[in-house]
């Protein structure tokens, strides 16, 4: 029962919306799709800022159905807008306190904790007018959190910021994710952000929900546009097994295989997220003897899709039986034919690049 | 020219200030919800209401005064209202002047407040709602402070415009000293009776007053735009 259930249909402005999905009420769920596909409309409907026919319930609590429509201020949400939208006539501190005037020590999310987590202690007595874009957005996030929400809605909170500022804020978001047990719906059109933050994914296109489910499953689904896009990749949740003290090479285990990669010191047993681009995975029939590529994993070709640009995208399952984690590999049609590759074949996946995309999380 | 200024010159001044202050207070109370509605409503007929509020801007004051005279008189609704306390009419009374001034100065108060509410946009109110603020709390803690320059401009313009009205007052108030004889009418009277000294004292006072009002508004506006950027 602990899920966010949404089903909206109707016309908003110029386009038809027909959005229906159900995601777990925990972790980060990214709503991903091109600009103008209705992501923001869905989120505004969940918040009650817009009203369309339909249904919305969060962890069994019905916010909207045929009979009820709970007004915005009675929904236990936090909403972070694209523009920080701070109140210009109030100090940072009073902005933070606005949603929770009588701050009690019993609150689940405490003022001091949030201020420290977001690194805004020094800004408290300033006016929002004198903050940088990144600072403003951090205050907006803090303000939303301090209203003690049961669901945090974030509408492209980083899209108005430049890349440097984004890189400055992303670690804070990751910390939130790790430190707070709060379900987050996160709108983005930037797949890199999604790969860093999201556990679940709702894939949208022209007002419709194409698919929803765990991020790694949707990324590896060859019937969805994600797996065939230029920057197709998979996200793998890995456990740190060991690290060589001399050359810094860490061993991280995923179902059906292990990856080696150079990294800053990692604590053994912690969870990390890896990202492997489809373009970085090539296929071989024998294990290559001398190569600079350190990650060569046994895998089985599960499914293939030929693309119009004379390339083939293959879905691989790690391990001899192909039962392990899923990888995507993209190779040219010519190499594919020359090696006589086909679904069901066991191969060696040579992984040229593996990236750590998420900060440390405490061991489960 | 008689250099001696008659003592009852101050009576119209006091009456005018009373009228303008009361009118401004009433207009802030009545005008704010109208301005809010005009700024936020999506009703197709709201511009018709806006035009109705703005009519005194273009209508000759005597026309408005004529209709008010009829409405406030013994056979109009004003007369019916007056009969509640045993009077015959609201015309030629101070309450009648207040009613006339409220209608006549309404656009000068409603328009700046409406503009301020519109300039603020939907976003601050939406943010407040997502932070559990009821519409009532959001209005007082967010909309009113953000629109405060509009309120200030509205109050100053409403006050100043009431001080300067002539046509409407003449039609519905006449010039009963101490009751309905306001500044602008008094000046007219002094000129009619060739009391040039009194007329020029009041006229010069009005010039100084008007100048100060406009200067104050410009300075406030400058300060507001400075602190908003």
**Residue A270 backbone dihedrals phi, psi, to 5 degrees:** -80, 160
Whether residue A49 and residue B129 make contact (CB cut-off 8 A), yes or no, is: yes
Tokens of B26: 């009433």
Whether residue B123 and residue A89 make contact (CB cut-off 8 A), yes or no, is: no
**Nearest chain A Cα distance for residue B89, angstroms:** 48
Q: What pLDDT sits at residue B1?
A: 45
Smallest CA–CA distance from B142 into chain A, residue: A87
Average pLDDT by consecutive 10-residue portion of chain A (364 residues)? 88 85 92 90 94 92 93 95 93 92 66 87 93 92 92 90 82 80 90 89 92 92 90 92 90 93 88 92 86 90 90 93 92 92 91 82 48
**Secondary structure (DSSP) of B31-65:** HHHHHHHHHH---TTHHHHHHHHHGGGTS-HHHHH
Whether residue B127 and residue A72 make contact (CB cut-off 8 A), yes or no, is: no
A69 touches B at CB < 8 Å? no
Residues spanned by CATH 2.40.50.100 within chain A? 234-356
Q: How far apart are CA A132 and CA A271, in angstroms?
A: 33
- The architecture (CATH level 2) of A234-356 comes to Beta Barrel (2.40)
Q: How far apart are CA A268 and CA A243, in angstroms?
A: 8
Whether residue B131 and residue A89 make contact (CB cut-off 8 A), yes or no, is: no
- Residues of chain B found within 8 Å of residue A89, distances taken between Cβ atoms: 145-146
Whether residue B146 and residue A88 make contact (CB cut-off 8 A), yes or no, is: yes
CB-nearest partner of A87 from B124, B134, B228: B124
Q: How far apart are CA B204 and CA B190, in angstroms?
A: 14
Cα maximum dimension of chain B: 70
- Residues of chain A found within 8 Å of residue B142, distances taken between Cβ atoms: 87
- Residues of chain B found within 8 Å of residue A99, distances taken between Cβ atoms: 130-133
Whether residue B127 and residue A49 make contact (CB cut-off 8 A), yes or no, is: no
Mean pLDDT score, B164-179: 84
Q: What pLDDT sits at residue A96?
A: 94
Q: How far apart are CA B147 and CA B155, in angstroms?
A: 13
Whether residue B131 and residue A74 make contact (CB cut-off 8 A), yes or no, is: no
- In the stretch 224-243 of chain A, residues with CB closer than 8 A to chain B read none
CB-nearest partner of A81 from B127, B133, B134: B127
Cα→Cα distances A204→A31, A207, A212, A230, B99, Å:
7, 7, 9, 18, 58
What is the β-pairing status of strands A184-188 and A151-155? parallel
- Residue extents of the structural domains in chain B: 15-173
Q: What pLDDT sits at residue A104?
A: 57
Whether residue B132 and residue A144 make contact (CB cut-off 8 A), yes or no, is: no
Q: How far apart are CA A341 and CA A301, in angstroms?
A: 8
A144 touches B at CB < 8 Å? yes
Residues spanned by CATH 3.40.50.300 within chain A? 3-219
Whether residue B127 and residue A85 make contact (CB cut-off 8 A), yes or no, is: yes
Q: What pLDDT sits at residue A264?
A: 86
Close Cβ partners of A267 (under 8 Å, ≥ 6 residues apart): A240, A360
CB A294 within 8 A of CB A350: no
CB-nearest partner of A143 from B129, B131, B145: B131
B226 touches A at CB < 8 Å? no
Q: How far apart are the first and last CA of chain A?
A: 23
Please name which of A64, A62, A4, A1 lies closest in space to residue A28, comparing C-alpha atoms: A4
Q: How far apart are CA B194 and CA B137, in angstroms?
A: 57
Whether residue A72 and residue B129 make contact (CB cut-off 8 A), yes or no, is: yes
Whether residue B130 and residue A74 make contact (CB cut-off 8 A), yes or no, is: no
Q: What pLDDT sits at residue A164?
A: 81
Q: How far apart are CA B107 and CA B54, in angstroms?
A: 5
B124 touches A at CB < 8 Å? yes
B91-117 pLDDT, tens digit each:
888 888 999 999 999 999 999 999 999
**Number of A–B residue contacts, CB under 8 Å:** 55
Cβ-based neighbour number of residue A43 at 10 Å:
23
Q: How far apart are CA B53 and CA B34, in angstroms?
A: 9
Give B15-173's CATH code, choosing from 1.10.3720.10, 3.40.50.1820, 3.40.50.300, 2.30.40.10: 1.10.3720.10
- Residues of chain A found within 8 Å of residue B138, distances taken between Cβ atoms: 73
| Choice between B70 and A180, residue whose per-residue pLDDT is larger | B70
- The architecture (CATH level 2) of A3-219 comes to 3-Layer(aba) Sandwich (3.40)
CB A43 within 8 A of CB B89: no
Smallest CA–CA distance from A87 into chain B, residue: B124
Q: How far apart are CA A158 and CA A193, in angstroms?
A: 9
Whether residue B133 and residue A98 make contact (CB cut-off 8 A), yes or no, is: yes
Region for A340 from its dihedrals, namely left if φ exceeds 0, alpha if ψ lies in -120 to 50, beta otherwise: left
A96-144 pLDDT, tens digit each:
999 876 655 556 778 888 898 888 999 999 999 999 988 999 999 999 9
B180-195 pLDDT, tens digit each:
888 888 888 889 998 8
User: Complex ipTM, two decimals?
Assistant: 0.85
SS (H, E, C) chain A: CCEEEEEEEEEECCEEEEEEEEEECCCEEEEECCCCCCHHHHHHHHHCCCCCEEEEEECCEEEECCCCECCHHHCCEEEECCCCCCCCCCCHHHHHHCCCCCCCCCCCCCHHHHHHHCCCHHHCCCCHHHCCHHHHHHHHHHHHHHCCCCEEEEECCCCCCCHHHHHHHHHHHHHHHHHCCCCEEEEECCHHHHHHHCCEEEEEECCEEEEEEEHHHHHCCCCCHHHHCCCCEEEEEEEEEEECCCCCEEEEEECCEEEEEECCCCCCCCEEEEEEEHHHEEEECCCCCCCCCCEEEEEEEEEEEECCCCEEEEEEEECCCCCCCEEEEEEEHHHHHHHCCCCCCEEEEEECCCEECCCCECCC
A103 touches B at CB < 8 Å? no
Q: How far apart are CA A327 and CA B225, in angstroms?
A: 57
Please name which of B227, B142, B121 lies closest in space to residue A127, comparing C-alpha atoms: B227
Chain B contact probe: residue of A87, A103, A140 with most B CBs at under 10 A: A87
Mean pLDDT score, B163-177: 84
Question: Tokens 């101490």 — which residue?
Answer: B178
Q: What pLDDT sits at residue A103?
A: 55
Q: How far apart are CA A118 and CA A97, in angstroms?
A: 15
Mean pLDDT score, B46-54: 94
Q: Is the pLDDT of residue B2 over 60?
A: no
A259 touches B at CB < 8 Å? no
């Amino acid at each position: 029962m602990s899920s966010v259930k949404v089903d909206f249909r109707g016309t908003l402005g110029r386009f038809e919306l027909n959005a229906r999905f159900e995601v777990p009420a925990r972790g980060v769920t990214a709503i991903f799709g091109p600009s103008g596909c209705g992501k923001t409309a869905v989120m505004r409907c969940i918040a009650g800022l817009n009203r369309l026919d339909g249904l919305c319930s969060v962890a069994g609590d019905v916010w909207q159905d045929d009979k009820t429509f709970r007004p915005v201020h009675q929904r236990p949400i936090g909403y972070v807008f694209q523009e920080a939208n701070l109140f210009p006539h109030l100090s940072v501190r009073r902005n933070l306190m606005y949603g929770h005037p009588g701050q009690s020590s019993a609150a689940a999310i405490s003022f001091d904790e949030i201020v420290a987590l977001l690194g805004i202690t020094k800004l408290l007595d300033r006016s929002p007018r004198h903050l940088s874009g990144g600072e403003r957005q951090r205050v907006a996030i803090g303000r939303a959190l301090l209203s003690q929400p049961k669901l945090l809605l974030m509408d492209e909170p980083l899209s108005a910021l430049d890349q440097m500022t984004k890189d400055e804020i992303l670690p804070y978001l990751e910390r939130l994710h790790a430190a707070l047990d709060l379900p987050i719906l996160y709108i983005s059109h930037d797949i890199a952000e999604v790969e860093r933050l999201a556990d679940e994914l709702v894939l949208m296109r022209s007002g419709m929900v194409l698919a929803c489910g765990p991020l790694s499953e949707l990324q590896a689904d060859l019937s969805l546009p994600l797996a065939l896009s230029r920057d197709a990749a998979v996200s793998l949740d890995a456990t740190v097994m060991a690290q060589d003290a001399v050359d810094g090479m860490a061993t991280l285990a995923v179902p059906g295989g292990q990856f080696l990669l150079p990294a800053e010191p990692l604590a053994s047993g912690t969870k990390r997220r890896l990202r492997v681009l489809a373009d970085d995975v090539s296929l071989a029939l024998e294990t290559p003897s001398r190569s600079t590529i350190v990650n060569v994993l046994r895998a089985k070709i599960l499914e293939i899709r030929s693309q119009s640009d004379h390339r083939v995208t293959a879905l691989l399952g790690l391990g001899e039986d192909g039962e392990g984690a899923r990888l995507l590999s993209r190779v040219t049609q010519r190499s594919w034919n020359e090696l006589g590759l086909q679904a069901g074949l066991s191969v060696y996946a040579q992984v040229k690049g593996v990236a750590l995309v998420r900060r440390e999380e405490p061991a489960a | 020219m008689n250099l001696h200024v008659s003592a009852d010159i101050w009576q119209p001044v006091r009456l005018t200030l009373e009228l303008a202050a009361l009118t401004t207070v009433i207009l802030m109370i009545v005008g704010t919800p109208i301005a809010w509605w005009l700024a936020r409503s999506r009703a197709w007929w709201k511009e018709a209401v806006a035009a109705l509020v703005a009519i005194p801007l273009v209508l000759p004051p005597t026309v408005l005064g004529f209709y008010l005279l009829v409405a406030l008189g013994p056979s109009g609704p004003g007369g019916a209202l007056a009969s509640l306390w045993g009077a015959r009419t609201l015309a030629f009374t101070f309450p009648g002047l207040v009613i006339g001034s409220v209608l006549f100065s309404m656009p000068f108060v409603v328009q700046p407040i409406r503009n301020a509410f519109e300039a603020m946009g939907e976003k601050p109110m939406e943010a407040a709602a997502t932070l559990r603020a009821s519409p009532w709390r959001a209005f007082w803690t967010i909309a009113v402070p953000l629109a405060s320059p509009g309120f200030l401009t509205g109050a100053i313009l409403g006050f100043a415009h009431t001080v300067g009205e002539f046509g409407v007052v003449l039609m519905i108030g006449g010039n009963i000293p101490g009751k309905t004889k306001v500044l602008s009418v008094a000046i007219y009277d002094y000129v009619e009776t060739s009391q040039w000294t009194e007329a020029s004292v009041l006229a010069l006072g009005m010039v100084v007053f008007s100048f100060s009002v406009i200067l104050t508004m410009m300075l406030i506006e400058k300060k507001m735009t400075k602190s908003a950027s």
